[in-house]
């Protein structure tokens, strides 16, 4: 039997990625962890290009979690530098390829220089329409949900929101990801099988794909394999198979 092929008419609209394994990749080579992050940055470039070429609408990358601030200071420093470098190096290509860049997360903690570069890129790319690249930076899913709840409570306290108005759509609009489609496919590299506080609310019905490939080794072929696997899944959103097939009459 022929191996399944990627169907370009049934692509996930939104792919989210937990890029894990940089440290182990470096250790396997007897190099410091930051060496792995640098190689990871090249994989970011590869995957952004591939998603844009395929026609993926939204790509979300977990670049730095709220919990990553607890890592050794020099590693944090290096990751921030890499991000700043990425913005400068990729700026032109991002614009040429029509990619809109947005961040999610508490970036007030990000060093001012990197933060202002990021904001400048967000502003410059805000009208780009061919793909949205979401950078999760200083991001935590629980933190996002708590922040959303605080925003709704403030509006309620100001008399601008009634408890009965709070439903799932209203809550979604209070999150960083307001206006973005929910991820249909979440890829995690590096062998662990967990979500690690990434897009907790948004991943309620997301298909999960775990691979042992370490992030710096993640190639376009691995991305395609994840999408092909996704295309073989049966998604029913809580309904029975029969209901799902008959849902449009």
| Catalytic residue numbers, as ranges | 20, 68
Distances (CA, A) of 242 to 79, 168, 207: 48, 26, 20
Q: What are the phi and psi torsion angles at 123 (to 5°)? A: -65, -45
Q: What are the phi and psi torsion angles at 213 (to 5°)? A: -55, 130
Q: How many CB atoms lie within 10 A of CB 149?
A: 13
Measured from the CB atom, the residue of 16 and 174 that comes closer to ligand FPP is 16
Across-strand partners of 137?
A: 64
Kindly state whether residue 37 participates in binding ligand FPP, applying the rule CB under 6 A: yes
Measured from the CB atom, the residue of 79 and 226 that comes closer to ligand FPP is 79
Binding letters toward ligand FPP, positions 155-194, x by CB under 6 A: -----------------------------------x----
Residue 206: CB minimum distance to ligand FPP, A = 20
DSSP code, position 169: H
**Interacting stretch for ligand FPP, rule CB under 6 A, among 32-40, 99-107, 111-119, 148-156?**
32-40
Residue 71: CB minimum distance to ligand FPP, A = 8
What angle, rounded to 10 degrees, do the helices at 73-96 and 112-125 form?
20
**CA contacts within 13 A on the Cβ side of 14:** 18
Taking CB positions, which residue lies at the least distance from ligand FPP?
23
Dihedral angle of Cα 187, 49, 58, 198, to the nearest 10 degrees? 40
Site for ligand FPP in 100-119 (CB under 6 A): none
Q: How many CB atoms lie within 10 A of CB 168?
A: 9
**Residues contacting residue 236 through CB under 8 Å, at least 6 positions apart:** 243, 244
Measured from the CB atom, the residue of 42 and 160 that comes closer to ligand FPP is 42
**Interacting stretch for ligand FPP, rule CB under 6 A, among 80-88, 198-206, 225-233, 238-246?**
80-88
**Residue whose C-alpha is closest to residue 199's, from 61, 47, 102, 101:** 61
Answer whether 20's CB lies under 8 Å from 198's CB: no
**Interacting stretch for ligand FPP, rule CB under 6 A, among 78-86, 204-212, 224-232, 233-241?**
78-86
**Interacting stretch for ligand FPP, rule CB under 6 A, among 35-43, 142-150, 193-201, 223-231?**
35-43
Residue 190: CB minimum distance to ligand FPP, A = 5
List the one residue from 21, 141, 148, 183 that touches ligand FPP (CB under 6 A): 21
Answer whether 102's CB lies under 8 Å from 76's CB: no
Give the footprint of ligand FPP on this chain (CB under 6 A). Answer: 19-24, 33, 37, 40-41, 44, 61, 63, 68, 79, 82-83, 86, 135, 190, 215
């Amino acid at each position: 039997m022929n191996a399944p092929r990627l169907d370009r008419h049934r692509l996930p609209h939104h792919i989210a990625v937990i890029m894990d394994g940089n440290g182990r990749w470096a250790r396997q080579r007897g190099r410091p962890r930051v060496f792995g992050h640098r190689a990871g940055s090249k994989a970011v470039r590869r995957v952004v290009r591939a998603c844009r070429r395929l026609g993926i609408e939204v790509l979300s990358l977990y670049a730095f979690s709220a919990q990553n601030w607890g890592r050794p200071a020099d590693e944090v420093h290096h990751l921030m530098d890499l991000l700043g470098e990425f913005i400068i190096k990729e700026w032109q290509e991002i614009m040429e390829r029509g990619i809109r860049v947005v961040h999610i997360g508490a970036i007030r903690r990000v060093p001012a220089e990197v933060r202002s570069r990021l904001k400048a890129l967000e502003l410059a790319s805000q009208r780009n329409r061919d793909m949205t690249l979401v950078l999760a930076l200083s991001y935590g899913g629980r933190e996002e949900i708590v922040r959303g709840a605080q925003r709704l409570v403030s509006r309620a306290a100001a008399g601008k929101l009634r408890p009965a108005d709070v439903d799932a759509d209203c809550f979604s609009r209070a999150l960083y990801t307001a206006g973005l489609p929910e991820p249909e496919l979440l890829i995690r590299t590096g062998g662990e099988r967990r979500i690690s506080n990434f897009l907790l609310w948004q991943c309620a019905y997301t298909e999960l794909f775990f691979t042992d490939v370490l992030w710096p080794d993640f190639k376009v072929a691995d991305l395609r394999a994840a999408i092909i696997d996704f295309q073989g899944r049966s998604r029913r959103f809580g309904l029975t198979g029969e209901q799902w097939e008959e849902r449009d009459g």
